[in-house]
Chain A
């Protein structure tokens, strides 16, 4: 920051002959090993006592050249690398990539028709993963403000989702379940039963979370009016997802730029209202996530009701996928925000370039603007409310 060497006059001189006490800013590295940076984020902060004067995020500790790797792998092979971006919502990352490649195929003339059944499976699994991702956000946010117990409850419910995923695709974290043209396998019948049970039980758990944390007086004190991202800032910095909606912008790709079969479901888009403080504060972002979980449950319920009894899970695909030259940018609504892929094909079996637009990367930047002037505790609360996943920021 350009003004990081400005001195704060903290000490008041006593008497007119006394010289002002010399004070200087304290430079601290918050991270890369720090409990509340949610991974290997390094924040270089200058502080004046408890007050934060400037925040500079340094990233790249988890950089794995994912975009370069894309250029050496076929479209199918790259699916597994998208797992490793937002590892808490790998299904949604898979989905974003597969959807982008399908759109590219469509635009270059070799159309691909994803079967209807597969689209339903994609929606059900994707929304389940959205709940799992938001559960982590909720639980770790509790940890950030000092409530240790909600995390265990959140992990307990996430475990149920991971068990479902294990039945569906055999993996618990890196699924690679979605593939270009559909999904890899059908959902087994017992997994469908488990999803039905989960959908039935989960709203009660949400009530429990709200009683435990959302309505807690201390929690509201800690998060209301803290880390305010106003409407213009959110749009200027390219924030998406709960951060954007928490700032009061009514924008959700699932509804406003609908893809897959989201237009067939009836769901609300929760938008922050500044219910307990200022519009766009930490509490609003947190609340948007809590509401989104409830809405995801609604979507899954409807999808389960409409799910065709049987159908193909994979479209007919050429043996070697070669896409004629062309390029496209496609974005989907991942739990953290808009997950976009800019895919360029030069006609070969591998993408010429696959740029990723990851939501948390853009959401993180806002910390530089809203961080200064907060207290250190608020900074932790703000980072938590942005719900960062470093795998996706660094790629």
Chain B
């Protein structure tokens, strides 16, 4: 972005900070626009997939082709809605919550490697940064639940906090073998290691067996991380009405919604980066011609589709069963796997 601005020559006589500011601002805005559009697309996709699974059509009218503009119309409606807040709400926390949730999802996009040169910030600690930003979402959920001053919302928030904090552990542990194999937390390096055809992807031959197991663990944990069925306990519309976001209306609600769908894309994109060969299509000869971001996005959208598919098929777990799966199954399993893999690396080299 900075190079583009420099090449226009507009900033020739101006101080350095104007250039940096303009570049950052335009990058942020384009990211925001792209993110919002992506989230709207996922909402549309969810409704269509849900429709077809449930033997109905889903949105059909707005935007001619299969309700293509339905979610945009809905987003505009939410924008125009009156902002209602509960009289007894903790105003500060209540306002902060949607911002935190959305920011958490938004910040993650900065390091996602859409292609060799298509990355906002090429950080050496990219993977760590991703887990750090998704931690912000928990704060948002907690703030929303507490700030709403609604007992059901509080339940949703407490469940959400317990769940997300617990599942971050197997989520982090699941990507560690890949980090050990690559020797770096840099997402670009992780992807480039998988560039030698489909067999070198971490889920297959790049990390034999270990990669496949950790991929499954990652998928399960990521569902819990983004509060999707069968782990959608913070929302559970049949138990907690709508969970932590019950009291929100209009734009604030829209931010929660967009945040959730953006998070879905982020966890899918991490899975693609770490396990499924990032922007590589799997055949080295073809990779040279393929537009990297397109491959990356198609792969990620497929994983988002898997999440949607699961949601409309499975019932949900109970909160204690959820914790049982995490603490008694996933964490010991991944820890044992990590130990075995570490030992194997030390012995074999």
A contact residues vs B (CB 8 Å cutoff): 26, 28, 34-36, 50, 142-149, 152-153, 156, 212-213, 216, 218-219, 221-222, 375-378, 380
- 6 smallest beta-carbon distances between A and B, as pairs: A146-B316, A152-B54, A147-B315, A145-B315, A36-B238, A377-B318
In angstroms, Cα B240 to Cα A75, docked, is 44
* B155, A143: Cβ atoms closer than 8 Å: no
- Of the candidates B50, B155, B232, which one forms a contact with A376 in the assembled complex, judged by CB atoms under 8 Å apart? B155
> How far in angstroms is the closest Cβ of chain A from B207?
29
In angstroms, Cα B316 to Cα A221, docked, is 10
In angstroms, Cα B321 to Cα A116, docked, is 55
In angstroms, Cα B229 to Cα A377, docked, is 15
In angstroms, Cα B239 to Cα A35, docked, is 7
For residue B319, CB closer than 8 A to chain A, the reply is yes
> How far in angstroms is the closest Cβ of chain B from A209?
13
* B321, A221: Cβ atoms closer than 8 Å: yes
* B151, A380: Cβ atoms closer than 8 Å: no
For residue B55, CB closer than 8 A to chain A, the reply is yes
Kindly list chain B residues whose C-beta atoms are within 8 Å of the C-beta of A222.
315-318, 321
Name B285-326 residues within 8 Å CB distance of A: 311-321
Nearest chain B residue, comparing its CB with the CB of A379: B239
Kindly list chain A residues whose C-beta atoms are within 8 Å of the C-beta of B151.
26, 28
Nearest chain B residue, comparing its CB with the CB of A144: B238
> How far in angstroms is the closest Cβ of chain A from B244?
15
In angstroms, Cα B50 to Cα A96, docked, is 40
* B315, A380: Cβ atoms closer than 8 Å: no
For residue B236, CB closer than 8 A to chain A, the reply is yes
Given A26-B151, A148-B312, A153-B55, A380:B239 Cβ within 8 A: yes
* B317, A149: Cβ atoms closer than 8 Å: no
* A375, B318: Cβ atoms closer than 8 Å: yes
> How far in angstroms is the closest Cβ of chain A from B168?
21
Kindly list chain B residues whose C-beta atoms are within 8 Å of the C-beta of A375.
318-320
Kindly list chain B residues whose C-beta atoms are within 8 Å of the C-beta of A212.
313
* B318, A142: Cβ atoms closer than 8 Å: no
Kindly list chain A residues whose C-beta atoms are within 8 Å of the C-beta of B321.
221-222
Kindly list chain A residues whose C-beta atoms are within 8 Å of the C-beta of B316.
145-147, 218, 222
For the complex with contacts A50-B319, A144-B238, A147-B314, 15 further pairs of A-B residues with Cβ separation under 8 Å are: A28-B152, A35-B237, A35-B238, A50-B320, A147-B313, A148-B50, A148-B54, A148-B311, A149-B53, A152-B55, A153-B55, A218-B315, A218-B317, A219-B315, A377-B239
Kindly list chain B residues whose C-beta atoms are within 8 Å of the C-beta of A216.
314-315
For residue B230, CB closer than 8 A to chain A, the reply is yes
In angstroms, Cα B54 to Cα A143, docked, is 13
For residue B56, CB closer than 8 A to chain A, the reply is yes
Kindly list chain A residues whose C-beta atoms are within 8 Å of the C-beta of B313.
147, 149, 212
Nearest chain A residue, comparing its CB with the CB of B311: A148
Sample of 6 A–B contacts (CB below 8 Å): A34-B241, A152-B54, A221-B317, A221-B321, A222-B321, A375-B319
Name B238-253 residues within 8 Å CB distance of A: 238-241
Kindly list chain A residues whose C-beta atoms are within 8 Å of the C-beta of B155.
50, 376
> How far in angstroms is the closest Cβ of chain B from A206?
16
> How far in angstroms is the closest Cβ of chain A from B128?
32
Nearest chain A residue, comparing its CB with the CB of B314: A218
* A213, B236: Cβ atoms closer than 8 Å: no
Nearest chain B residue, comparing its CB with the CB of A156: B55
In angstroms, Cα B241 to Cα A146, docked, is 12
Name B91-133 residues within 8 Å CB distance of A: none
- Of the candidates B53, B56, B232, B320, which one forms a contact with A146 in the assembled complex, judged by CB atoms under 8 Å apart? B232
Given A146-B229, A147-B315, A375-B319, A380:B53 Cβ within 8 A: no
Kindly list chain B residues whose C-beta atoms are within 8 Å of the C-beta of A144.
238
In angstroms, Cα B314 to Cα A152, docked, is 14
Kindly list chain A residues whose C-beta atoms are within 8 Å of the C-beta of B315.
142, 145-147, 213, 216, 218-219, 222
Kindly list chain A residues whose C-beta atoms are within 8 Å of the C-beta of B312.
148-149
Nearest chain A residue, comparing its CB with the CB of B229: A146
> How far in angstroms is the closest Cβ of chain B from A364?
18
Kindly list chain B residues whose C-beta atoms are within 8 Å of the C-beta of A213.
315
In angstroms, Cα B237 to Cα A146, docked, is 8
In angstroms, Cα B108 to Cα A75, docked, is 70
* A380, B56: Cβ atoms closer than 8 Å: no
> How far in angstroms is the closest Cβ of chain B from A375?
6
Kindly list chain A residues whose C-beta atoms are within 8 Å of the C-beta of B229.
146
Kindly list chain A residues whose C-beta atoms are within 8 Å of the C-beta of B152.
28
> How far in angstroms is the closest Cβ of chain A from B288?
43
In angstroms, Cα B326 to Cα A67, docked, is 54
* B230, A380: Cβ atoms closer than 8 Å: no
Indicate with 1 or 0, residue by residue over B193-221, a CB within 8 angstroms of chain A CB atoms. 00000000000000000000000000000
